Amino acid sequence: MKKLWMTGFCILSLLTACNSERAAEWVMTTPDAAWQKQDVKEITFVNSEEPDVTIHVEHPGQDIEGFGACFNELGWTSLSLLSEADRNSVMRELFAPGVGANLTVCRMPIAANDFSRDWYSYNETDGDFEMKHFSIANDRETLIPFIKEALKYTPDLRLWASPWSPPTWMKDNKHYACQPLDTSFFDNVGQNGIRPDQVRREGMNMFIQKDAYFKAYALYFARFIEAYRAEGISIAMVMPQNEFNSCQPFPSCTWLPSGLATFIGKHLGPKMKELGVELMFGTMERPTPALVDTILTNPDSGKYLTGAGFQWAGKKSLPDIHKRYPGLRIYQTEQECGDGRNDWEGCTYSWDLMKHYFKHGTNVYDYWNISLEKGGMSRWGWTQNSLVVVDKEERTYNYTYEYYLLKHASHYVLPGARFLPLSGQFTDLLAFRNPDGKYVLIVHNNQNTVTTRVVKIGDKYVSLKLQPQSFNTVVLSLNHKNYA
């Protein structure tokens, strides 16, 4: 599997070669200035008996497969407000190897999600178990052109997909949602039309638990894979349900683990195997490891799963899962979305998330919204953050703090890198070793003063002078004694 994965990223070899020509690199982002090149002469090797942090290069952790974000409909409609030149500039910055974020592993919804233009599925013909009326016509307006623009820059982009809701006729409440909108939380955009008798709750199977429906839903997944292939877009992996415990006022569907195990083991697993598509469990959004255990240890479903995806409160179950399944591939499937303000405080919170996920075995780290209009409001009235913010009135755009934070990792940490564990009093750091042998350090100084940190890497001690309230990425080759 690793060999297959790595062949897909030969295009990044040029980036690796370019980086290998430099002894060191250093970029910094602060609240006042993003992506500022720093003088590598400020990187010094010292003698030290008490480093602030030790990076354990002798005990590398998991492989890093890549970074990405999610192709949502509102991402494309917002970018479509820009001129063609500006839109191309954004897509190049996000996806072109060696240019900006180097996004290589991205997510997409199977039909509607909470950042779609409105509710839809690929087949709303009640009782169409043979999928005769299946259609991705809606996606040809948004998701397909969005993805094709990315593929122009990264032809080997790896895509994975998950549904938020099955077609409504496959659910026991015959509605895309699970509960009405809570207007105390969501901005007033009108109700979602759900009746009191259609309201459901967490801890139940909303999907109709009958073989005919399971079989039809597996066929629905297959038709999706095949239809996208006909568009020239390959879906490499699927997960069976976004947030299977969450009863939401937007597209959602609650499942019990036992119901998912039956669907995966008897229907979806065999169908995806026929098509050569990977299947991972997810997305897991609760702090309860037993929910994952039920699926992984089930003899029918477990044999088809190559990993698991975690998001939101699922992060709290990750330490236990990674400890008990140390070889399990782990995707961080959706970085928490913020509140639409895209401020520095949200960026530092996102940094804490990133540290937590990589510390506990994450192979892929995916951001959520690629682009949104200013304010970041969804069709259902939820305001969220994004990598790019588009001003509808001015037809302009800007990159957010969280974009630059993601870029601090994804621009330099290449597919095939290894995560490196650390110890010491200073832990505001992530460390990786790239396939070319260079070390990538992402270091945060949350102090309001200039701070010097001494980092032990192997038998070397590196001193870094960090500016106040700054994120720093430092790329080092230990073959050099100094960078003066």
Cβ neighbours of residue 236 closer than 8 Å, sequence gap 6 or more: 158, 159, 160, 277, 278
Half-sphere exposure of 321 (CA within 13 A, CB side): 31
Which of 364, 389, 414 is the last residue before a domain boundary? 414
Q: Say how many domains are in the chain.
A: 2
pLDDT value at residue 1: 38
pLDDT value at residue 14: 34
pLDDT value at residue 250: 98
In this prediction, residues 321-336 reach a mean pLDDT of 97
Buried b (16+ CB within 10 A) or exposed e, 341-370: ebbeebbbebbebbbebbbbbbbbbbbbbb
pLDDT, tens digit, 9 for 90 and up, residues 299-318:
999 999 999 999 999 999 99
**Residue 471 and residue 383 share a domain:** no
Distance CA 291, CA 260 (A): 10
What value, to the nearest 5°, has the Cα angle with vertex 421 and ends 105 and 307? 40
Residue 12 within any structural domain of the chain: no
Cβ neighbours of residue 359 closer than 8 Å, sequence gap 6 or more: 421
Least confident stretch, 16-30, 105-119, 138-152: 16-30
**Residue 443 and residue 309 share a domain:** no
Q: For residues 448 and 137, is the Cβ–Cβ distance under 8 A?
A: no
Residue 187 has pLDDT above 90, yes or no: no
Three-state SS sequence of 411-422: CCCCCCEEEECE
Percentage of the residues of the chain whose pLDDT score is greater than 90:
91
Residue 482 has pLDDT above 70, yes or no: no
Residue 18 within any structural domain of the chain: no
The residue assigned the tokens 């593929």 is 151
Cβ-based neighbour number of residue 44 at 10 Å: 16
**Residue 296 and residue 312 share a domain:** yes
pLDDT, tens digit, 9 for 90 and up, residues 114-135:
999 999 999 999 999 999 999 9
Which of 382, 414, 446 is the last residue before a domain boundary? 414
- The DSSP code for 239 is -
pLDDT value at residue 186: 78
pLDDT value at residue 5: 39
Residue 481 within any structural domain of the chain: no
**Residue 408 and residue 271 share a domain:** yes
Alpha carbon dihedral 136, 141, 142, 145, in 10-degree steps, equals 100
In this prediction, residues 432-449 reach a mean pLDDT of 98
Distance CA 274, CA 291 (A): 27
pLDDT value at residue 360: 98
What's the domain range around 191?
66-414
Q: For residues 364 and 9, is the Cβ–Cβ distance under 8 A?
A: no
The residue assigned the tokens 């119901």 is 259
**Residue 423 and residue 386 share a domain:** no
**Residue 426 and residue 303 share a domain:** no
190 — pLDDT class (breaks 50, 70, 90): confident
Residue 449 has pLDDT above 70, yes or no: yes
pLDDT value at residue 23: 64
Residue 85 within any structural domain of the chain: yes
**Residue 428 and residue 284 share a domain:** no
Residue 482 within any structural domain of the chain: no
pLDDT, tens digit, 9 for 90 and up, residues 152-182:
999 999 999 999 999 999 999 999 999 999 8
Q: What is the chain's mean pLDDT, rounded? A: 94
**Residue 50 and residue 147 share a domain:** no
**Residue 48 and residue 97 share a domain:** no
**Residue 398 and residue 249 share a domain:** yes
pLDDT value at residue 185: 81
Strand partners, 207: 171
Which of 360, 393, 414 is the last residue before a domain boundary? 414
**Residue 99 and residue 56 share a domain:** no
pLDDT, tens digit, 9 for 90 and up, residues 38-97:
999 999 999 988 999 999 999 999 999 999 999 999 999 999 999 999 999 999 999 999
Residue 218 within any structural domain of the chain: yes
CATH code for the domain of 465: 2.60.40.1180
Residue 282 within any structural domain of the chain: yes
Q: Which two tokens stand for residue 419?
A: 């995560």
pLDDT value at residue 4: 37
Residue 230 within any structural domain of the chain: yes
pLDDT, tens digit, 9 for 90 and up, residues 404-427:
999 999 999 999 999 999 999 999
pLDDT value at residue 483: 52
CATH code for the domain of 376: 3.20.20.80
Q: Which two tokens stand for residue 78?
A: 């917002």
pLDDT value at residue 6: 38
Distance CA 321, CA 297 (A): 12
pLDDT, tens digit, 9 for 90 and up, residues 3-45:
333 334 333 333 333 333 456 999 999 999 999 999 999 999 9
In this prediction, residues 279-293 reach a mean pLDDT of 97
In this prediction, residues 253-281 reach a mean pLDDT of 98
Q: Give φ, ψ of 133 to 5 degrees.
A: -105, 15
**Residue 398 and residue 450 share a domain:** no
